[in-house]
A = this chain, B = another copy of it.
Amino acid sequence: MSLRHAILVLLQDQEASGYDLAREFANSIGLVWNATHQQIYLELGKLNEQNMVSYRHVPQEGKPDKKLYQLTDEGREELIRWLKKPAGPARIRDAFMVKVAGGQLADTQSLLSELEQLAKQRRERLATFEALAKRLDDEGLEDNLFNYLTVRRGILDQRAWLQWAEEVRRTLEDLSVSSATP
């Protein structure tokens, strides 16, 4: 279990609300570890009970009040402890890839349009990451080294996926053409 540790890592840089964390999980960190807001609020509650984090109540106008969480010393120690032991293997559940593997039974056209839709998302993400990488570079890499490396991973991942998607598109389009002219 390391949703808790992902949260601790995020809180290491700055205090944040559950809502803030949910947004980060939907964007940057989501590439590496995903979680929904229900999960996050629940885990923040547990972390608070265990004195890994503390929060201060921040009233807002025009918006609901929020709780800004920050790491406690105990939380930081727990994080350091976790960082020392070897990480478990990465787990993935990529339903689209399963569909590609089962492609013989699928409709090529709908596969292609789904591919294009995903490619669009990836391109957007790539642009976001590239902009972020540039910003971190301008700000000076020393202070942002590990964020920078994480973003680089995102960039290389998007590019590799898009390159693959291009291969698939070409292959499947050739297939449609040749099957349309028997």
User: Which chain A residues have a beta carbon within 8 Å of chain B's beta carbons?
Assistant: 2, 5-6, 8-9, 12, 29, 31-34, 76, 79-80, 83-84, 86-107, 110, 114, 145-147, 149-150, 152-153, 156-157, 159-161, 163-164, 167-168, 171, 175
Q: Would you give 22 A-B contacts (Cβ < 8 Å), ordered by A?
A: A9-B101, A32-B97, A32-B98, A33-B97, A34-B89, A34-B92, A34-B93, A80-B106, A83-B99, A84-B110, A90-B95, A90-B96, A91-B93, A91-B94, A92-B92, A97-B153, A100-B149, A101-B146, A102-B146, A145-B175, A156-B160, A156-B164
| A168 pairs with B149, CB closer than 8 A | yes
| A102 pairs with B88, CB closer than 8 A | no
| B83 pairs with A105, CB closer than 8 A | yes
Residues of chain B within 8 A (CB-CB) of A34 are 89, 91-93
A12 to B104, CA, bound (A): 9
A19: shortest Cβ distance to chain B, in Å?
20
Identical chains bound together, number: 2
Residues of chain B within 8 A (CB-CB) of A102 are 5, 8-9, 12, 79, 83, 146
| B156 pairs with A100, CB closer than 8 A | no
| Chain A interface mostly | helix
A63: shortest Cβ distance to chain B, in Å?
28
Q: Nearest chain-B residue to A106 (Cβ)?
A: B83
